[in-house]
Each structure stands twice: as C-alpha cells, then as structure tokens.
Homo-oligomer: A and B are copies of this chain.
Amino acid sequence: MISYPILLEKFQTLLKENQLKFTKQREFVLKFLYENDEHFTPEEIYTLLKQKYPDINIGIATVYRTLALLEASQIVSSISFGTAGKKYELGLKKHHDHLICTKCGEIIEFLDETIEQQQKLIAKQFNFKMTDHAMKIVGLCKNCQD
C-alpha cells in the first residue's frame, strides 16, 4: 500500500500540473480517506472531519468539490449505494469489488482474479474501451441473516 507522504506528493503534483492550489481543506479530505479505510458519504466525511478537528474551517460544498476533483483524478472512487447517493473510498488500492448488505449497510471488499480477467475479455468482445468496472453483490451478510 502507498504511504501517505507519497500519496500527498502525488496529489500536489497533480494540482500543480493543473494550476490548482493546494489547500488545507483539500488535504484534510485526502488525509481522512487515507486514514479511514472505509466507504463514506460526503455528508459523513464532512461531519466526521468537523468532529475530529473542531477547529478546521470547511464547508460541505468544499467536500463535494474536493471529492469530485479527487474522483476525476482517479485518486478516489465512488460506489452507488441504493437510492441514497454515493460513497467514496481511496481508489489507489488494487482493484476490488464489493459485497453490500442491504440490512446493515456493511460493505465488504473482495478481489477475484477470475472476474477481473473475464471483464477484460468482455470489454474486448464489445469493442469497448474500459476505463472502470465495478461489481456489486447485494444481499444479507452473515450477521443479518437471522
């Protein structure tokens, strides 16, 4: 897994290349996602950041704007979650897919090479230039089956 200083540098380079500025709000969002290896809604990121760092000045709009920026830069990725918006996670880890529990909302990650290979094959078959792919298995997790 990539270390935080390296990730940060990557982000700063990317900003510079696009004449964008490096601000503490942007860093806070990045750092938050790095340190919390889960899936969050923009709202959650906003609330938890405020809670953890009561002194920082950040607005929900900035969280949205930053996430959009990070997603466009392929630094974070998002996953749609039912009717209720998207959840974001750091996107730099090895590609993986998700099991989503409809009852408790838990998201479990997994990686399956057979599926990865098969996806490439399918894209090729359809003359599709694949930029991303995602698989969700929806159901009840072990704990919620009672």
Chain A residues in the interface with B (C-beta under 8 A): 80, 83, 86, 99, 101-102, 108, 110, 112, 114-115, 118-119, 122-123, 125-142, 145
**Given that A80-B80, A86-B83, A123-B99 are contacting pairs, would A128 and B118 also be in contact in the complex, using a CB cutoff of 8 Å?**
no
Q: Which residues of B contact A115 (CB under 8 A)?
A: 115, 118-119
Number of copies: 2
Residues of chain B within 8 A (CB-CB) of A86 are: 83
With a CB–CB cut-off of 8 A, which chain B residues contact A108? Answer: 126, 128
Complexed CA–CA distance, A132 and B140 (Å): 10
Contact residues in B for A83 (Cβ distance below 8 Å): 86
Which residue on chain B has the smallest CB distance to residue A130? B139
- Tell me, in angstroms, the Cα distance from A132 to B132 when the chains sit together: 21
What's the nearest-Cβ distance from chain B to residue A108, in Å?
6
Residue of A86, A126, A142 with most chain B CB atoms under a 10 A cut-off = A126
CB of B131 within 8 A of CB of A138, answer yes
Q: Which residue of B lies closest to A120 (CB)?
A: B137
Q: What residues of chain B lie closer than 8 Å to A125, measured between beta carbons?
A: 110
Q: CB < 8 Å: which of B101, B131, B134 contacts A135?
A: B134
A103 to chain B, nearest CB (A): 10
Residues of B within 8 Å of A130, CB to CB, are 137-139
User: A99 contacts B118, CB within 8 Å?
Assistant: no
Docked pose: A139 CA to B127 CA in angstroms: 10
> B110, A137: Cβ atoms under 8 Å?
no
